[in-house]
Structure 1
């Protein structure tokens, strides 16, 4: 009797493992995948490609950058402020921030300095170097940013029965830190999805 119970437990465990084991299929990163209708990696790419292109081609940004470069001999420096998530779902906006920073640096329009959190780590390291190394990096030689990039992600959700519509609005601004003047502002509202939920069969 005891052996039969143990055998049943073992068989159930094996069946559970077979039934619920994950099947993984690799796909190209550019392939459109939208399983649940929520914000995803494809939406990030679409939005960032559009807004970054607008930013680097902005006449106001190029004009101001040319003035700074003529005075300093170097491209202007920017810093990522914060892109806030004001939508109805969890969105990791740090992915958007990093995409902006990387693309704009590679565009050759401006340089970027470390973010606030990154600067805190760097300052701790420089403080530690003062007493532990002979070639410690000097404190107080940080490069000040000329611009700050800030923005928001918002969403509007409409529902009726098993059908819902999700629309996303991403606003980004490039601000002159010294004057608070907004040099460039861009909005992308191209992400809109209609989601139909399947009826539950009883």
Structure 2
């Protein structure tokens, strides 16, 4: 009988421990400031891309290049020069979306050139597409400007304090002249401190 009570108590303790280690999932505000770690996060993505887009839209060069209509841009990849694995495509996607929403520019998507070429070749050669709806080769819109950049970081860590500095640099190049017509930098500094137990 004594052994059964001990087994029951141990079973209840084990159940309590397991239930105490369960994971709770909830939705949060996608725009809320994220401060889980000093590593690059969603707040950094939103802040940097938003400020960079606003800088380009507000710059006098945008008024100049859009005076004859909405210029056509393409986005080259942002080079990740940090020590972290960062999905820089999320940065370019966010900036492209915000710029398109502004109504100031148009974009061609260079990442889909191979897929588009394959589809156009199919339409031309297969004989299965109605000629009236067929898209002809050589009718694609050419980009006039290229948007590209770098994401860099500097990390300092003395064991008690970790300081991370991020710098996003973006450039807009006129493809006809090779001239840089706009450039800007956005910077973020984040810091974490190890707390001493008992304080």
- Bigger radius of gyration: 2
* 1:133 correspondence with 2:134: no
Using the alignment, how far apart are the partners of 1:50 and 1:61 within structure 2? Answer: 15
Q: CA deviation at 1:198?
A: 4.7
Aligned to 2:49: 48
Aligned to 1:85: 80
Q: CA deviation at 1:17?
A: 5.9
The two structures, once aligned, show a CA RMSD in angstroms of 2.4
Q: Contact (CA 8 Å) 1:44, 1:96: kept in 2 or not?
A: yes
Using the alignment, how far apart are the partners of 2:55 and 2:65 within structure 1? Answer: 15
CA pair 178-17 structure 1, distance change in 2 beyond 3 A:
farther
Aligned to 1:100: 95
Any unmatched runs of 5+ in structure 2?
1-10
Using the alignment, how far apart are the partners of 2:139 and 2:159 within structure 1? Answer: 60
- Among 126, 142, 145, which residue is 1:144 paired with? 142
Any unmatched runs of 5+ in structure 1?
1-10
Moved over 4 A (4+): 11-17
Using the alignment, how far apart are the partners of 1:41 and 1:163 within structure 2? Answer: 22
User: What secondary structure sits across from 2:121 in the alignment?
Assistant: helix
TM normalised by structure 1 equals 0.83
- Among 171, 188, 191, which residue is 1:194 paired with? 191
Aligned residues: 186
